[in-house]
Amino acid sequence: MRPSRMVPKRGATLARTVLIVDDSPIVRRSVSSALLSDGFAVCGEANDGREAIELVGRLSPDLIILDLSMPVMNGLEAAPVLRKLAPKSAIILSTLCASEAVEQQFESIEVDSVLSKREPLSRLTEEAHALLGE
């Protein structure tokens, strides 16, 4: 668990902040790179849901990108807690197994969007902009 000091490329103003929650360092690095190049600021990264819960109050991100399958505390367990702690933050659930059943399950805990990790990262940044009203 660690706050991040990654900021968008020079010239961007008032970047929206993002907390990336995924147990894969490679995924976190890829997502971070895509977000930074699209004008977002990555305010922190977490390896699992428990770490995300510890960071979210301190960081107050505009967006949380949350993996479904993680050790310690997965996305299903973490999402309702994150929603209560950060009611104004948008939450995108990122999963390899996106399906209607998964989407319906997360609608009940108010996850804003469910995206497949198989989609290009440009789809994630498009959804992030859409959720944040940009």
Q: What angle do CA 63, 64, 65 make, to 5 degrees?
A: 120
Domain encompassing residue 108: 2-131
Cα–Cα distance, 17 to 87 (Å, whole number): 15
**Per the structure, how many domains does the chain have?**
1
What's the CATH code of the domain at 68?
3.40.50.2300
Structure tokens at 85: 């702690």
- The predicted pLDDT at position 79 comes to 92
pLDDT tens across the length of the chain (134 residues): 455 545 444 444 457 999 999 999 999 999 999 999 999 999 999 999 999 999 999 999 999 999 988 999 988 899 999 999 999 999 999 988 655 666 566 666 678 888 888 899 999 999 999 999 87
Q: What is the DSSP pairing of strand 41-46 with strand 2-6?
A: antiparallel
Cα–Cα distance, 98 to 86 (Å, whole number): 24
- The predicted pLDDT at position 64 comes to 97
Question: Helix, strand or coil for residue 4?
Answer: strand
